[in-house]
């Protein structure tokens, strides 16, 4: 495989933000936690000894979830929750995948208040703080998966930048800019294309075709995933990672918290990452979205369709020339519309302003109708039951 993500020993705060994050350029920082205890957990054995009793939530993986979501969408629902999580520990998970190496269970998005043992081993990097040194809009999560697992191509619709620190193990990462999203068969913030199981030479061609980036992330390295980039991870080895999600400007907060997920909005929002580069044309586009958002509508579903028409117009005006063509059959729009309606209902989008203000605080932590930032296993299950 070829790698085209630069590795740097250190970066100033200004360079990290201005040269990489807001310009949508991934980079690997190799000395992120130099001298801190977390660097000592660079093998499965050392991490297990230190964090074995740490609580996690285990589930069957997001591919299982999306399969069930599609079955629900097309009228073939199975009993039970779309994403059932069960309480476990790091040690129990590792023992389970040692017994069943073929398992695709994963412990993902475990919030920081469930892993105090890990949080005590590092300080939040300055890169993840705002200019005043505050944890504004910052969240962190633990990920743990066995060899052979995958996180399929998607983009994080909350529109935060992500710094993923590899605690132990190795993962292959592929990142693709939003301007190339039409080549992926996008639906909501996911897509129908994946490089899973593809030979290295073909995967390399796929990365080149999509204008993407590829790297092998190893223990002690931290990968910057700029906001809104499509990304894919392949667990080459059983591995653990800390993801730190940070920094949204006012545009990203509005797009991420209030609007449904769509590849055209993704490409539009990409233009707003660098506040210093906002042109009058972009300000006018943002005003157009805001006006459509606040305009009265018959129903949330109707409001979502009205906003989608705005996204379509702005995409053609601002973004389409970067990647001409649709690379998909027209019937895919029917699927996108159905998923959009499901998301509108599941995330409780586009209510009246009073109702919405009471609910919008958790909107950025939902994806396709599912609460992904659970505060505990029990509350995660409760939240999903309420969504059904």
Q: What per-residue confidence (pLDDT) applies to 84?
A: 79
Q: What per-residue confidence (pLDDT) applies to 302?
A: 97
How far CA 107 is from CA of 87, 345, 368, in Å, comes to: 10, 27, 19
Average pLDDT over every residue of 225-234: 98
Q: What per-residue confidence (pLDDT) applies to 70?
A: 79
How far CA 357 is from CA of 228, 349, 354, 360, 362, in Å, comes to: 25, 11, 5, 5, 10
Q: What percent of the chain has pLDDT over 90?
A: 79
The pLDDT of residue 387 is above 80:
no
The pLDDT of residue 359 is above 50:
no
Parallel, antiparallel, or unpaired for β 186-187 and 222-225?
unpaired
The pLDDT of residue 362 is above 50:
no
The pLDDT of residue 365 is above 70:
no
The pLDDT of residue 148 is above 70:
yes
CA 364 to chain CA mean position, Å:
11
* Domain boundaries for CATH 2.60.120.650 within the chain: 7-246
The tens digit of pLDDT for each residue in 313-328 reads 999 999 976 667 889 8
**What backbone phi and psi angles, to 5 degrees, belong to 4?**
-135, 25
The rounded distance, in Å, linking the Cα atoms of 286 and 295 is: 14
Kindly state the tokens that stand for 192: 């129908």
Confidence of residue 357 (pLDDT cuts 50, 70, 90): very low
The pLDDT of residue 366 is above 50:
no
The pLDDT of residue 237 is above 70:
yes
Longest dimension (CA), the chain: 59
**What is the pLDDT of the chain when averaged over all its residues?**
88
The tens digit of pLDDT for each residue in 279-317 reads 999 999 999 999 999 999 999 999 999 999 999 999 999
Q: What per-residue confidence (pLDDT) applies to 7?
A: 98
Q: What per-residue confidence (pLDDT) applies to 116?
A: 96
According to DSSP, residue 295 is labeled: S
Taking a C-beta distance cutoff of 8 angstroms, is the pair 151, 63 a contact? no
The tens digit of pLDDT for each residue in 369-381 reads 333 333 334 443 3
Confidence of residue 78 (pLDDT cuts 50, 70, 90): low
Burial 252-265 (b: 16+ CB within 10 A, else e): bebbbbbbbbbbbb
Per CATH, domain 7-246 is 3.40.50.300: no
Give me the sign of the Cα torsion angle 320, 324, 325, 328. negative
Provide the 3-class DSSP secondary structure of residue 139.
strand
The tens digit of pLDDT for each residue in 88-118 reads 999 999 999 999 999 999 999 999 999 999 9
The pLDDT of residue 210 is above 90:
yes
The tens digit of pLDDT for each residue in 252-281 reads 999 999 999 999 999 999 999 999 999 999
Burial 164-174 (b: 16+ CB within 10 A, else e): bbbbbbbbbbb
The tens digit of pLDDT for each residue in 30-70 reads 999 999 999 999 999 999 999 999 999 999 887 877 777 77
Q: What per-residue confidence (pLDDT) applies to 75?
A: 72
């Amino acid at each position: 495989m070829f790698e085209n993500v630069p590795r740097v020993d250190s970066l100033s705060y200004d360079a990290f933000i201005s040269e990489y994050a807001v310009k949508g350029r991934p980079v690997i920082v190799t000395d992120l936690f130099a001298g801190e205890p977390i660097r000592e957990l660079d093998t499965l054995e050392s991490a297990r000894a230190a964090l074995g009793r740490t609580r996690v939530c285990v589930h069957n993986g997001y591919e299982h979830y999306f399969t069930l979501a599609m079955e629900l969408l097309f009228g073939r629902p199975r009993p039970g929750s779309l994403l059932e999580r069960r309480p476990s520990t790091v040690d129990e998970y590792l023992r389970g995948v040692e017994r069943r190496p073929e398992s695709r269970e994963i412990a993902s998005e475990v919030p920081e208040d469930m892993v105090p043992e890990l949080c005590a081993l590092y300080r939040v990097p300055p890169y993840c703080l705002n200019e005043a040194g505050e944890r504004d809009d910052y969240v962190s999560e633990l990920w743990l998966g066995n060899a052979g697992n995958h996180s399929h191509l998607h983009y994080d619709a909350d529109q935060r930048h992500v710094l993923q620190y590899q605690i132990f193990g190795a993962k292959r990462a592929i990142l693709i800019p939003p301007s190339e999203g039409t080549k992926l068969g996008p639906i909501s913030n996911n897509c129908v294309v994946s490089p899973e199981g593809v030979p290295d030479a073909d995967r390399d061609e796929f990365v080149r075709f999509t204008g993407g980036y590829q790297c092998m992330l190893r223990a002690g390295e931290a990968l910057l995933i700029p906001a809104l980039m499509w990304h894919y991870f392949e667990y080459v080895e059983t591995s653990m990672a800390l993801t730190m999600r940070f920094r949204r400007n006012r545009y990203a907060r509005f797009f991420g918290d209030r609007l449904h997920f769509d590849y055209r909005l993704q490409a539009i929002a990409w233009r707003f990452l660098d506040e210093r580069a906002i042109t009058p044309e972009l300000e006018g586009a943002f005003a157009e979205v805001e006006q459509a958002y606040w305009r009265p509508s018959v129903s949330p579903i109707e409001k979502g369709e009205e906003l989608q028409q705005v996204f379509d117009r702005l995409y053609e005006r601002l973004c389409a020339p970067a990647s001409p063509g649709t690379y998909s059959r027209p019937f895919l729009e029917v699927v996108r519309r159905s998923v959009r309606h499901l998301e509108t209902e599941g995330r409780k989008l586009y209510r009246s302003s009073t109702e919405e203000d009471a609910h919008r605080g958790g909107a950025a932590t939902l994806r396709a109708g599912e609460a992904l930032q659970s505060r505990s296993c029990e509350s995660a299950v409760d939240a999903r039951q309420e969504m059904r």
